[in-house]
Amino acid sequence: MKIAMIGAGYVGLVTGTCFSELGNCVLCVDNDVEKIKKLKKGIIPIYEPGLDELVHKNTKAKRLSFTSEIEEAVQVSDIIFIAVGTPPRENGEADLSSVEKVSSIIADVMTEYKLVVGKSTVPVNTGKWIKRTMNIRNTKGIDFDVASNPEFLREGSAINDFLYPDRIVIGVESERAKSILYELYKPIDAPILVTDIESAEIIKHASNSFLATKISFINAISILCERAGADVKKVAEGMGLDKRIGSDFLNAGAGFGGFCFPKDLSAFIKIAEDLGYDFRLLREVEQINEEQKKGIVKKIRENLWNLRGKTIGVLGLSFKPNTDDIRYAPSIDIIGELIKEGVKIKAYDPKAMERTKKIFPNITYCKDAYEVCDGSDALVILTEWDEFKNLDIKKVKDLLKTPIIVDGRNIFDPETLKEIGFVYTGVGRK
Ligand code: UGA
């Protein structure tokens, strides 16, 4: 099938590449001319495990190409995915101006049937707006369909998530759109749920909000565990063994970040408000997440007494492992707060240091975790990269000025560390 992927950001690039891997002919479009130039040269603007190889393989096979000419892409494609950014406005709602612009261009340019599929995360009823926008401009009366096909990719495992998803959701209004999307997803072995467009749009926001709720729930439980002398890891394990609850997304820690959960939560709260419902539960989910980040700073303060003039080593800057993404990462708030308190920061992250330098140009970036430890008054773990789990912990102790660890991701065993002589504080642990 011939596909245009409008928007070569994270979602567009990964999805477009994976569709080409399935044998389709994909043209990825972006109005960022520099980005397209780089992609044409084989330079991938983001770090996502396996993406590099897939892009190169499929460009070489001529199934994947890049352009900044949206008109050309619309004309040559049967299916047009809209995967442009929908950034949050001040009040939390999504800015849909790019979606509107793209819909208008498609309507202006098309000369034969097109299936226009919303891939970006959008508020419910966006499909209706796309259709309305296109209808107004479609003076020649060309046949088209609008559909919604939300993505459920996680950064760091996006390719695997695309190829082996739990489910595929397609929101459609016509048999024609349904059968095209069925055909497109035929090579993937996963249940396909067919809904109306509005339900598909809500499934995306509801899923992310539910997962964020699970995290804030266990983070709230972690506070109870600390006060009662229980261990949140054991509590989560006990809860997760119940199939109705499930063990995923029950890791207590420094809070959730990334460009999806925080943004989608506030967008969903706004959507609910516009629909006349005060989604108090989700407002609390947000609040607990903010408190969780502050809680890490509090733990550091409680361990170090005075913060001013101290050096703190930070391991992990990205919002989670296997990505260089630092958008809404807990590390940003926590480091910002520590700097305000007069702390010197030494930091290391396997992939996210270049991006963090743009926000904190004046902290010390180290070549590895041991350099971070060298001379620091305490070590703080903010992302659970595998390489931190496998550190030579005795060497860490020797290098630190004082053997204090605040483990914001519960990667270490408290008993082992205490036996070695650390003053160890995890999240929700004895
Ligand atoms: C999330 C969803 O998981 C995807 O299904 C969805 O497609 C994506 O958003 C999106 O809307 O595009 P992502 O943001 O890449 O994916 O990352 P997650 O793995 O969901 O993690 C989000 C945050 O939650 C991270 O900061 C992570 O550290 C935190 N988290 C996750 C916890 O604190 N505890 C957990 O148990 C799980």
Q: What is the pLDDT of residues 332-364, one digit of tens each?
A: 999 999 999 999 999 999 999 999 999 999 999
- In angstroms, what is the span from residue 218 Cα to ligand 1's centroid? 14
In 95-250, at which residue ranges do the beta strands (DSSP E only) sit? 114-118, 144-148, 168-171, 192-195
Q: Which active-site residues does the annotation give?
A: 260
Is the minimum distance from the CB of 151 to ligand 1 under 6 angstroms?
yes
370-414, pLDDT tens digit by residue? Answer: 999 999 999 999 999 999 999 999 999 999 999 999 999 999 999
Query: Whose alpha carbon is nearest atom 6 of ligand 1?
Result: 152
% of residues, the chain, pLDDT over 90: 97
Q: Which atom from ligand 1 is nearest to the alpha carbon of 250?
A: 36
Q: Contact at 8 Å (CB) between 273 and 306?
A: no
d(CA 191, CA 182) in angstroms, rounded, equals 11
pLDDT at 420 over 90: yes
What is the pLDDT at residue 292? 97
Ligand 1 pocket mutation pick from 120, 121, 155 by most atoms within 8 angstroms of CB: 155
Calculate the average pLDDT of the chain: 96
Ligand 1 pocket mutation pick from 215, 333, 388, 407 by most atoms within 8 angstroms of CB: 215
d(CA 138, CA 216) in angstroms, rounded, equals 46
Q: Contact at 8 Å (CB) between 30 and 68?
A: yes
Would the pTM count as exceeding 0.75? yes
- In angstroms, what is the span from residue 328 Cα to ligand 1's centroid? 12
- What are 246's two structure tokens? 């499930």
Classify 289 as helix, strand or coil. Answer: helix
Say which residues have a Cβ less than 8 Å from residue 209's Cβ, sequence separation at least 6.
Answer: 264, 265, 268, 282, 285
Kindly tell me the sign of the dihedral angle through the C-alpha atoms of 67, 71, 75, 81.
positive
| Confidence category of residue 88, pLDDT binned at 50, 70, 90 | confident
Q: Which atom from ligand 1 is nearest to the alpha carbon of 319?
A: 26
